[in-house]
Chain A
Amino acid sequence: MTQRVKITYISLLVLLPICIIAGTSLGAFKIEFEQCANILLNLFGADNYSDFTNPQHNVLLYIRLPRVCLSMMIGAALAVSGAGLQGLFRNPLADPGLIGISAGAMLAASIAIIMGLQFTSGFLGYYSISFATFLGAILTTIIVFKLSKSNKSTNIATMLLAGIAINALAGAVTGFIIYLSDDDQLRDITFWSLGSLGGADWEKVIALIPLIILPIIMIARLAKKLDVYALGESEALCLGVNVNSLKRRLVVWVTISVGACVAIAGMIGFIGLLIPHITRLLVGPKHRNLIWISAILGALVLSISDLLCRLIVAPAELPIGILTAILGTPLFLALLIQQKRKING
C-alpha cells in the first residue's frame, strides 16, 4: 500500500465519526454535541450521563441516527456499484443507471403510486413502493442482461445499447403513467424521483444491511479480476479470468444493492458516477483501493449531503437528489477540465 493510499484511508476514517456526530447533532431540532455524547454514553449503560431531555433522546436515537446510518450505507453502496460498473464497462462514465436499474425502478414506483398500493393496509401496504421498486430494478436489469447475451457470452457493447433502449422505453412508459396520474400522484412520483432519506428508521436500516453489506463485500472480492479485466476481455481470459462469470456476478450484486437503495431512498444521482471518479484521482485505478475508498467516501458524501438537505431549508427538507446533482455537476465538470489539462500537458 503506498503512502498516498494510507493517508487517504486514515483521513477518510477520521472524517467518518465526525460526520456521524455532525449528522446526529445538527438539524432543525437542537441537540448540543455534549448532549449527543451523553445520550450515546447513556445508551451504552453509563447512567450518570443524563443531561438531556426525552425528546432529544428520541430524535437522536430513532430519527437521526438511523438516518445517518441509512445515508452512509446507501452512499457506500451506490459508490461501490458505480466503481464496479465502471470497471466492467471499462469506462469512467458508467453508472448504475446505464444498465436500466434506475429507469426500471422509476417505472415500477410510478405504477405502484398510481395504483395506490401504498394505501393498502398492513405491512405490504407500507412497503409496497419499496417492494415494487426493487422488483422493477431487478426485472429491467435481467431483461438488459438477457438481451446482451449471444452464444453463451455477454457482450458489453450490446449491454450498453440494450440498457439505453430499455431506459428509453421505461422512460416513455413512465411518462405515460405520469400523464394518467392525478395531481397528488404526480406530486408523489416527482418527489420519489428526487430521492429522500426522510423515512429512515431502524427497520429500514436492518432490512438494508444484508442487501448492501454483502454486495459491497462481494464486489470488493472481484477487485483483482476487474484490474486484469481492464487490460481487455481476451487478455483477461488469457490470464485465467472467467470473464462471463465476472460480468454476471458483478451485475447481480450491483443490481441487488442499487435496487435496495432505490427502493428505500428513491433516485439519488451522481454518487455512483462521481465518487469512484474522485477516488480514482486520489488513489489510482486499482480496484482493491478504489472499491473500499469509494465505499467510505460515498458514505461520507451522502451523509454530508443529507445533512445539508436538512439544514439549508430547515425546518423543511430539500430532496437529496437535487443536492447531489447541484454539488456533483460542477465538481464533475471541474474534474473533466482538470483531466483535459493533464492530457494536454
Chain B
Amino acid sequence: MVKTKNISFAVGKKNILKNVNSTFENGKVSAILGPNGAGKSTLVKCISGTITPNKGVIELDGKNIKNIGLENLALKRSYLNQQFNLSVGYTVKEIVSMGRFPHYKVYPSKKDDEIITSAMKLLDIISLSDRITNTLSGGELQRVHFARTLAQIWPNSKEEQEGKILILDEPVNNLDPQFQHSILELAKRFAENHNVCVIIVLHDLNLVAQYSNYSIVMRQGEVITQGKTREVLTEKLLEEVYKVPISIIKNDHHFNIVTGVKYNRLENELIR
C-alpha cells in the first residue's frame, strides 16, 4: 500500500503539488485523472521516487520510502515513464532484460530469462525480439517498455501475493484500441492475481471507468476527490473539472463515460 501524506512539490515559486494526501491499495487499480497540468505526473514521479517532494512523506507499506534503499525499492516498484529516451542500438530483448537488472548481479539467471520471455510473450513482442529499438513504431516501443516494467516486478511464483507496486504514467498513449485494452487488462490482472498496487495516470475517462477500482481526481496540484471510481466519478464533477459535456452510462454491469456529448435518456439520443 502506498500513502502520500501532505506532500508538496514546487519548482521555483510555482507549486505543482499542494498538500496531496492519497492512498493506493494493494490488489486494486487506482487511476489518477485530471486536466493537463494538474500535477498527475509529478505525483507519480514522487511516488516512484524519481523526484523528492519538498514537503511531506511517502509511505510504502508504512515505511518512509526515503529509508528504503534505491536497490530494495527497485525490487518492489516499477515505473513506466510517459516518454522514453531512444536507447540507440539496443535490441528489444536487451531493453526488456533491463527490467531484471535489480534482480541479478552479473548475468541474468535462467529464471530471469524465463521472466523476460514471458513478459515479451504477454505483450506480443516476441517476434520483435532482435529488432533494434530505434526502428520500432511508437506503439511497439510503448509495449517494449511496458514489458520491461512488468518484468521488473514479475511475481516469483504463481501464488505470490507480495504486494509490489506498478506505476504507469499514461501507458496507453500511442496505442490502438486493441492494445489499450490489453495493456490495461494486464495491469488489472497483475493487481487481482498478485495483489499488486497499480497506479495509473489516464486521460481516457472511459478507460478509467472500465479498468480502475479507485480514482483520484486532481486539479491545479490539489486532490479534489478520491474514492471508488463508480461512486466518485459523476457527470457534474467531471464537467466541472474538464469543462466539456460528459455523459455517464451505467448499470449493474457497465460503467462507461462519453466525453463531448450529452446523452438524453428520455429521448435516447446524443446531444452535442
Contact = CB atoms under 8 A, between A and B. Distances in A.
B138 interface: no
A286 B89 CA distance: 9
Chain B interface residue number, banded = 20 to 34
A106 to B, nearest CB: 31
Contacts of A232: 81, 84-85, 87
Contacts of B84: 231-232
B90 to A, nearest CB: 6
Nearest to B134: A343
B88 interface: yes
Contact of B45 (A228, A234, A240, A241): A234
A237 B50 contact: yes
A318 B212 CA distance: 71
A231 B87 contact: yes
B49 A239 contact: no
B40 to A, nearest CB: 16
Contacts of A284: 89-91
B88 A285 contact: yes
A280 interface: yes
Interface residues of A, number: 20
Nearest to A91: B88
Nearest to A223: B106
A240 B73 contact: yes
Nearest to A92: B88
A224 interface: yes
Given A238-B74, A238-B77, A240-B70, A285 B50 contact: no
Contacts, number: 69
Contact of A240 (B91, B94, B102): B102
Contacts of B87: 230-232, 285
A32 interface: no
B226 interface: no
Interface string A234-266: 110111111000000000000000000000000
B102 A235 contact: no
A238 B79 contact: yes
Contacts of B75: 240
B70 A285 contact: no
B142 interface: no
Contacts of A237: 49-50, 70
Nearest to B132: A284
A274 B201 CA distance: 42
B89 A234 contact: no
A239 B98 contact: yes
A234 B88 contact: no
A280 B89 contact: yes
Contacts of A224: 101, 106
A285 B90 contact: yes
A234 B50 contact: yes
Q: Ordered nearest first, which 9 A-B pairs have the shortest CB separation?
A: A240-B74, A285-B89, A232-B85, A234-B50, A240-B71, A230-B87, A240-B102, A238-B79, A239-B101
25 contacts: A90-B85, A227-B90, A227-B94, A230-B90, A231-B84, A232-B85, A234-B45, A234-B50, A234-B79, A235-B79, A237-B50, A238-B78, A238-B152, A239-B98, A239-B99, A239-B101, A239-B102, A239-B152, A240-B71, A240-B72, A240-B102, A284-B89, A285-B87, A285-B88, A286-B94
